[in-house]
Amino acid sequence: MSDDTNPSATAASGSAAAKATTIEEKQYLLRFNADTQSHLHVLSADVCLDHCPDKLCTIFCPAEVYKWEDIRMHVGYEGCHECGSCRIGCPHENIKWVYPKGGHGIVFRLG
Ligand code: SF4
Ligand code: SF4
């Protein structure tokens, strides 16, 4: 019997979801089918470097997609949860956000 049809496996999976507390644990409960092209684009690296001292996207993104690397923003688009927060959260409207192409992106296993 597969996990999908086994009630005790489903209950155990739900229990794991309830216990997941770190982003790594939560992401393990998700599946990603990443495209080869990013659906997220930082429009101006200079704006991030010179006009955004707090690098807010590294704070508000729940998937920790944005990582500041000395002088540039690394965008790990593969792990995006498609919540849309970076569309409104960047104070300089410096992120171009679209949904991934059809068939790509996050798959909510428990959703
Ligand atoms: S919040 Fe916007 S401007 Fe600031 S670092 Fe992130 S992408 Fe750049
Ligand atoms: S859509 Fe949400 S999860 Fe994806 S990069 Fe933006 S803030 Fe992060």
9-47: b (≥16 Cβ within 10 Å) or e: eeeebeeeeeeeeeeeeebeeeebebeeebbbebeeeeb
Pick the residue whose CA is nearest to atom 2 on ligand 2: 83
Q: pTM to 2 decimals?
A: 0.74
User: Does residue 87 lie within any of the structural domains?
Assistant: yes
**Pocket-testing residue among 40, 50, 71, 73, ligand 1, by greatest number of atoms within 8 A of Cβ:** 73
Question: Who's near 6: CB < 8 A, 6+ residues apart?
Answer: none
Domain count, the chain: 1
* CB 48 less than 6 A from any atom of ligand 2: no
Distance in Å, CA 90 to ligand 1 centroid: 5
Sorting pLDDT into bands at 50, 70 and 90, what band is 2?
very low
User: Does residue 1 lie within any of the structural domains?
Assistant: no
CATH code at position 30: 3.30.70.20
Containing structural domain, residue 100? 7-108
User: Does residue 21 lie within any of the structural domains?
Assistant: yes
User: Does residue 2 lie within any of the structural domains?
Assistant: no
| Each residue's pLDDT tens digit, 27-46 | 667 777 778 899 999 999 99
User: Does residue 12 lie within any of the structural domains?
Assistant: yes
* pLDDT: which is higher, 37 or 109: 37
User: Does residue 28 lie within any of the structural domains?
Assistant: yes
